[in-house]
Structure 1
Amino acid sequence: MMMLRIRSRDGLERVSVDGSHITVSQLKTLIQDQLQIPIHNQTLSTNRNLLLAKTPADFSGFSDMNDPNLRISSLGLGHGSMVYLAYEGERTIRGGPAVTPAGSFGRKMTVDDLIARQMRVTRQEKSHCDSVSFDRDCANAFQHYVNESLAFAVKRGGFMYGTVSEEGEVEVNFIYEPPQQGMEDNLILMRDAEEEKRVDAIALGLGMRKVGFIFNQTVTQDKKEYTLSNAEVLLATQLHAESDLKEWVTAVVKLEINEDGGADVHFEAFQMSDMCVRLFREGWFETEIGSEDDPKLSKMKKEVVLGVKDVKEVDNDFFLVVVKILDHQGSLSCTFPIENRNIQTTTRALKTHMDRSRSLPFVKRISDFHLLLFVAQFLDVVSDVPALAECVRLQSHVPEGYELLIDSMANS
């Protein structure tokens, strides 16, 4: 007799089996008997991404356990192994043991018990954001830095700025990287309020706004068991909760081994679910993460209802809503040195940039967010910064005063 762990949208459950010699068909029968999920509704896989699938069409992409006669031992499954389960419809839960009342009015319930029974965690099927499209240059500049300079050894993050359509389509046109300290398993943002005012002033002039946050996962993270770690969920949810934008996007850059043994850089995009953001805003999350805590689980201060259980730990995947990724070529360049990296940006960099693009119209030469942020240090954040950025947005003539200032800075 051995036990398999079954992870579904209802959380983690266990199924007892006779041994690893059983077939997929027999396993499905045991799941039907023990978990009350009809065989014809079940999709099984050893791939954890099955939990992110939303529709039967998505389920069909996971075929490793489609053969009913396949022995589970051939999949490397043994005692304690994890199998992922997706199913359609609702399940009928077998009644639990009878409860002996404590006193004439039954068990006493605390206010926390009552609140927890109202806080039911379910998977959110549809995101508020229909898609997120990345400007190729700004996305490449971010991934190139974490790949070539940081070697995916430490974390790096940035705020994404762009536009949101009425249909919920997000476009990311530049990424602002705040002061930060990246480590193997954590990212600490050391935000500069004055610098962020300049960033927002530039965005205002460009007709854009803050639309999300992007970060990379490191090669040392064991990502086989989770999509985002508990620390990553906390940071992503905190930043989402700060925003008043329902289409707010969290993007992740990761290095994955391909079939040839090489490494490919992948982008993934999510929204934190409405329930996740609500739990954070109302203070349900445990914000202190211990070294012994399971990174694939987020701890709650009080029990919540997950499926049919009262739990204090929630699988992080329950909080993620997948967002489709597209790309586009925006109007901004991304060749000026990027802020808050290892090498400090100086006026020499400005001169090099301006000299290199001397053949272009002046407005085209300054059509780079990172250049505008550097120049904004010397301009009035309320009037001058949005005005200069608006020239870039409209590709219109730059007033002589701004042109003289930028040229003098470059030649200083």
Structure 2
Amino acid sequence: MMIRVRSRDGSERITVPDSKTPTVSDVKTLIETQLRVPVLNQTLSTNQNLLLAKNPDQLLQFSDMSDPETLISSLGISHGSMIFLSYEGERSIQGAPRVSPAGSFGRKMTMDDLIARQMRVTRQESPHCDSVSFDRDAANQFQHYVNETLAFAVKRGGFMYGTLESDGRVRVDFIYEPPQQGSEENLVFFRDPDEEKLVEAIALGLGMRKVGFIFTQSVGQNKRDYTLSNAEILQAAELHAESELKEWVTAVVKLEVNEDGGADVHFEAFQMSDMCVRLFKEGWFETEISGDVDPKLSRMKKDVVIGAKDTREVDNDFFLVLVKILDHQGPLSTTFPVENRITLVTMRALKTHLDQSKKLPFVKRISDFHLLLLLARYLDVNADVPALAVCVQLQTAVPEGYQLLIESLANAS
């Protein structure tokens, strides 16, 4: 049996003999012998939030693997399962050779060698944001389409918009889905500058901004041994670097098998580490990924240092900083059809929506980002779009002229 172990050092594996039903104590002993972490220093859990714990009191909250006699099978741990390890102190990474600062005997150091010695890749312990909170309806609208229409057979993605709160929380209130093509392994955005200009105008009027990237993993990827693939790391790092926002969040949505053998939709959130973004900006990543590269490893153009080892292959988990997920009920509705999906959104959808919401105040009837995006195609992006968005943000009455214009657009369909 193979069990994956994720710690601050990234993702590693232990091999459990098949001759017995292992207990938590057996697993801890194997971690000590195979990964060189003393049993007394270990805290184990099946809950990934263990890696966010910052003091002993917080560690005590993760007690599911505290009893050494507990059979790991009773915790749902089987071949290929991931468990999480927090430990005190330092350790030497197995297989990391000692490296002389001067390089090999008789060999002169080049400038690239010196740069590589300085480019040390370590795991970033804490994200720049305290947490990310998703509007429940926006998150559900996104995952429901992928689940019910695409059956998680292909990837889907979008940009998250919201606010940065004073308490360090990133708040996501709507998701914009650009034109795209998804396959089982890859996701390609066909960025439309004109459409994105409309999105930014709406967000500005709503008092929001672009705060992250969200994408789904396909069911085919569930069989692969990685958190994010090297292609996903590249895409996430590129978008994080483009944003110039240190609190930028990358969210992953996937199906996971539950205890009853069914499938549950699961959200995970990360920040790409500062080192990852720096390496991307400075062109260290190999961007052409060949088929012989393990997808859980990112290939570098030059050696970097991990522990005491020079390498050009970095475990993707080194670049991921776990972010706590919360939820909230935001100010926008999510009943209007979403842009750039299989079904084209037309003015007929606007008429249907307005007819079904006649009893509501007009500002409530248009308090939906996807509806505003459709209207923005027919309005002045510099004047009309922000003005309508401000009405929605403040929930103030929509001027009669705009009401007549919107109703005439709907009735012309």
TM-score band, normalised by shorter chain? 0.7 to 0.9
Give the superposition deviation at 1:60. Answer: 7.3
1:381 paired residue number: 381
CA distance in 2, matches of 1:255, 1:288: 28
2:111 paired residue number: 111
1:173 paired residue number: 173
Give the 3 Å change call, closer, same or farther, for CA 130–4 of structure 1 in structure 2.
closer
Give the 3 Å change call, closer, same or farther, for CA 65–229 of structure 1 in structure 2.
farther
Give the superposition deviation at 1:153. Answer: 0.6
1:206-217 correspondence runs (5 A): 206-217=206-217
2:194 paired residue number: 194
| SS of residue in 2 equivalent to 1:299 | strand
Is the CA contact (8 Å cut-off) linking 2:160 and 2:210 kept in structure 1?
yes
Give the 3 Å change call, closer, same or farther, for CA 311–83 of structure 1 in structure 2.
farther
Is the CA contact (8 Å cut-off) linking 1:11 and 1:306 kept in structure 2?
no
2:351 paired residue number: 351
Q: Cα deviation per residue 1:184-208 (whole Å; 9 max; x = unaligned)?
A: 1110000100000000000000000
Q: Which structure has the bigger radius of gyration?
A: 1
> AA paired with 2:398?
V
| SS of residue in 2 equivalent to 1:120 | coil
Is the CA contact (8 Å cut-off) linking 2:8 and 2:125 kept in structure 1?
no
| SS of residue in 2 equivalent to 1:397 | coil
Q: Cα deviation per residue 1:217-273 (whole Å; 9 max; x = unaligned)?
A: 111113562211111111111111111211111111111111111111111111111
CA distance in 2, matches of 1:227, 1:93: 21
> AA paired with 1:67?
P
Give the 3 Å change call, closer, same or farther, for CA 62–199 of structure 1 in structure 2.
same
Give the 3 Å change call, closer, same or farther, for CA 261–101 of structure 1 in structure 2.
closer
CA distance in 2, matches of 1:148, 1:18: 40
Q: Percent identity?
A: 68
> AA paired with 1:112?
D
1:304 paired residue number: 304
Give the 3 Å change call, closer, same or farther, for CA 152–242 of structure 1 in structure 2.
same
Farther-moved stretch of structure 1 (19-28 vs 378-387): 19-28
Give the 3 Å change call, closer, same or farther, for CA 26–324 of structure 1 in structure 2.
closer
1:39-188 correspondence runs (5 A): 39-43=39-43, 52=51, 54-55=53-54, 57-58=58-59, 61=62, 67=68, 86-91=86-91, 106-188=106-188
CA distance in 2, matches of 1:260, 1:337: 33
Farther-moved stretch of structure 1 (59-68 vs 217-226): 59-68
1:259 has 2:274 as partner:
no
Is the CA contact (8 Å cut-off) linking 2:99 and 2:309 kept in structure 1?
no
1:292 paired residue number: 292
Give the superposition deviation at 1:309. Answer: 1.2
Farther-moved stretch of structure 1 (151-160 vs 30-39): 30-39
Give the superposition deviation at 1:399. Answer: 2.1
2:269 paired residue number: 269
Give the superposition deviation at 1:156. Answer: 0.6
Is the CA contact (8 Å cut-off) linking 2:137 and 2:329 kept in structure 1?
yes
Return 5+ residue gaps in structure 2 as ranges: none
CA distance in 2, matches of 1:326, 1:15: 32
CA distance in 2, matches of 1:332, 1:18: 53
CA distance in 2, matches of 1:214, 1:98: 40
| SS of residue in 2 equivalent to 1:121 | coil
Give the 3 Å change call, closer, same or farther, for CA 313–397 of structure 1 in structure 2.
same
CA distance in 2, matches of 1:137, 1:6: 34
Give the 3 Å change call, closer, same or farther, for CA 266–308 of structure 1 in structure 2.
same
Give the 3 Å change call, closer, same or farther, for CA 123–223 of structure 1 in structure 2.
farther
The CA RMSD over aligned residues, in Å, is 3.6
| SS of residue in 2 equivalent to 1:254 | strand
Give the superposition deviation at 1:209. Answer: 0.4
* TM-score (ref. length: structure 1): 0.86
Q: What is the number of equivalent residue pairs in this alignment?
A: 405
